Amino acid sequence: MKFQDYNFVPSLKRNLEALGFRKPTDIQYKSIPPILKGEDVLAVAQTGTGKTAAFAIPVIQILSTRKVVEKEYGIRCLIMVPTHELAIQVAGVTQELMKGTGLKVLGLHGGVKQDPQIEQLKKGVDVLVATPGRMFDLASQGFLTFNRVEILILDEADHMLELGFISDMRQLVSRIPKRRQTLFFSATINEHIKELAYGLVRNAVRIQISPKDPVSKNIDHAVAYVEMDDKRFFLEHFIKENPKSKILVFVRTKVRAERVLKAMERVDIKSQTIHGDKLQDERSQVMKNFKDGSNKVLIATDVSARGIDIPNVDFVINYDMPEEPENYVHRVGRTGRGTLKGIAISFCSSEEKETLDIIESFLDKPITVMEINKAEYEATIDFSKGSDHDWKSLMKEQQARKSTKAKVKKKKKK
């Protein structure tokens, strides 16, 4: 079935055609009918399969055709997301899909001035894509109400229902109409989160695409055993072997991100970092540079692993193994999106093998191991500009030893 065969409003059909949407993906095909019927949906699908469009398309159709009394006008659809970047992205996709419908969307997040956001809210917004912090802040100031919400969507639902957000979600649910449609979308969801989700929906239609393998078939993923102190040499080697490729590197912490950046600078590799300590304007510019290819290497914490659609990422490198097994799926899912192929490689040190075991248990199968023999391993380190043990250093050390021995011999002869 093609999108043009659906009974959509003409403007939505035109937008789908202009954006190159011809046929729905599996998640879109299975999600659109129940959403159009007004049913609650709990959907789990691999990263890069088109989940945003799976809920945005039917929601736009519903809002375009459902009459609203002018005096009751207000936010009709609330989409909750965990990160600033995802708020910007989802709002952007929704904006493109709703051109010509008369509907308005706003991406609401922190890190930027609130006054322009308040002005947009005053003018009227149909779809609000929001992170919890800024949304509740503006609500507490009286600039935002939820009494007209018809549809609540949790994107990256598992993360939204985790400990840090669950109290916010419960507070939100108490403030929006009970008669609403609720949609949950994510790439991963565990049993605990599933129980929480079912507590917020009514007779939800459950949709699960490839549940036995959360990693897309478009992605070849493997692990290389590399000790913690040697990872920078292997990253340098990989980047220099693939100079034209777009490479996304994941690390555990903000501090690690900056350290890896400095390590790459020392070997003349240009890269940028993105993490929670950066100002929003800087984060947006970094994302723009990576998306348009003006920067080829992006070093990121998990702030960029959740739902972000970055075009044409050739490789994902897990410089550090993720602490949460679900994050492995989200990280590697930044490559191989849609119909494109992708490659993900994880550097696993001795102290991270237990984490690897947990990830493989979560995936329910082992990750392919890249064999590196001793000679290859040592050569990767020795030929690095940043190595303290490269061949030039070794030559200098050897010459220094010879010089010292010669001096000792002279003293003995005296």
Over residues 4-46, the pLDDT tens digits come to 999 999 999 999 999 999 999 999 999 999 999 999 998 888 7
pLDDT at position 284 is 87
Query: Please, what's the b/e burial string for 5-31 (b: 16 or more CB within 10 A of its CB; e: otherwise)?
Result: ebebeebbbebbeeeebeebbebbebb
Beta strands in 319-365 (DSSP E): 342-348
Which is higher by pLDDT, 193 or 327?
A: 327
Q: Which two tokens stand for residue 353?
A: 């093998």
Q: Return d(Cα 212, Cα 222) in angstroms, integer.
A: 18
Average pLDDT over residues 34-62: 91
- Is the predicted pLDDT of residue 385 greater than 80, yes or no? no
What confidence category does residue 151 fall into, taking pLDDT thresholds of 50, 70 and 90? very high
Helix (H, G, I), strand (E, B) or coil at 141: coil
Q: Return d(Cα 122, Cα 104) in angstroms, integer.
A: 12
Which residues of the chain are in CATH 3.40.50.300 domains? 3-208, 219-386
Q: Which two tokens stand for residue 80?
A: 């909750």
Give the number of C-alpha atoms closer than 13 A to the C-alpha of residue 18, restricted to the C-beta side. Answer: 12
Q: 219-386 belongs to which homologous superfamily? A: P-loop containing nucleotide triphosphate hydrolases (3.40.50.300)
What confidence category does residue 414 fall into, taking pLDDT thresholds of 50, 70 and 90? low
Residue-wise pLDDT for 91-129, tens only, equals 999 999 999 999 999 999 988 899 999 999 999 999 999
Q: Do the beta carbons of residue 90 and residue 107 sit within 8 Å?
A: yes
Element (H, E) at 80: strand 77-80
Q: Do the beta carbons of residue 315 and residue 344 sit within 8 Å?
A: yes
Q: Return d(Cα 81, Cα 105) in angstroms, integer.
A: 14
Average pLDDT over residues 59-88: 85
Q: Do the beta carbons of residue 58 and residue 65 sit within 8 Å?
A: no
- Is the predicted pLDDT of residue 337 greater than 90, yes or no? no
Neighbours of 255 (CB within 10 A): 12
What confidence category does residue 223 fall into, taking pLDDT thresholds of 50, 70 and 90? very high
- Confirm whether pTM is higher than 0.85: no
Q: Return d(Cα 21, Cα 13) in angstroms, integer.
A: 9
pLDDT at position 392 is 44
Contacts of 95 (CB under 8 A, 6+ apart): 105
- Is the predicted pLDDT of residue 3 greater than 80, yes or no? yes
Q: Return d(Cα 320, Cα 55) in angstroms, integer.
A: 33
pLDDT at position 268 is 94
Q: Is 133 exposed, middle or buried (0-12, 13-18, 19+ CB in 10 A)?
A: middle
Percent of the chain with pLDDT over 90: 56
Domain 3-208: assigned CATH number: 3.40.50.300
Cα angle at 352 between 350 and 355, to 5 degrees?
Answer: 140
Q: How far apart are the first and last CA of the chain?
A: 96
pLDDT at position 175 is 86
Among 18, 13, 12, CA closest to 60: 12
Contacts of 375 (CB under 8 A, 6+ apart): none
Average pLDDT over residues 215-222: 86
